[in-house]
Amino acid sequence: MYLAVSGTCYWCMEAIFRAVRGVSSVEQGFVKTRDGHFVEAALMQLDEKILPLNALVRIHLSSHAATANHSARGKYPSAVYPMDSAQLMRCKHAIASAALESGEAVVTQALPFLAFYPNPAKQQDYFWRQPEKPFCQRTILPKLKALALGFPRAITPQAAQFLRDEVYNQQA
């Protein structure tokens, strides 16, 4: 199953979902919204035999301020964009279930997928090609650490090893 997500910068989303088991073919770029805007997003393929859709939605909700309607929400709408109406209903249910379990209202929406425009190849895999960059260290790495702590079974072995090495190097 393919779907796109938005909610934070595409470099963050791409890095997070490249670190999740069952997710492949992650690309960063822009998704077209119903009102004709283009927002930063990540498009990915999900293997539900490895990671169920509701788990992916929970990871997405935890990866950004999904409960806040902050001033940048127009640029970074919190949303999931599935490819068909059946997936759309499943995403709506997953969002509602996660909100109910957390006891917090979320601003995240499940919206129909319209179009995705990937960034050029030289921009893809931003974090994993250059994790030492200041933005990667300051903004993306803390999100990856939070992913590993919040969803330890969902993280790929490669991402887990990278984070262990990162923690070890910071302590040395």
Q: What integer pLDDT is reported at residue 1 of this predicted model?
A: 95
Distance CA 15, CA 136 (A): 9
The two counts, helices (H) then strands (E), for the chain are: 7, 6
Q: What integer pLDDT is reported at residue 172 of this predicted model?
A: 54
CA neighbor of 154 nearest in space, from 36, 41, 63, 43:
63
The crossing angle, in degrees rounded to 10, of helices 141-150 and 10-18 is 40
Work out the average pLDDT over 74-86. Answer: 92
Residue 138 DSSP label: I
Specify the amino acid at residue 108: T
Who wins on pLDDT, 74 or 153?
153
Q: What integer pLDDT is reported at residue 53 of this predicted model?
A: 96
- The class that CATH gives domain 2-171 is alpha beta
- What is the model's pTM? 0.93
Q: What integer pLDDT is reported at residue 7 of this predicted model?
A: 93
How do residues 16-55 score in pLDDT, each as one tens digit?
999 999 999 999 999 999 889 999 999 999 999 999 999 9
How do residues 105-143 score in pLDDT, each as one tens digit?
899 999 999 999 999 999 999 999 999 999 999 999 999
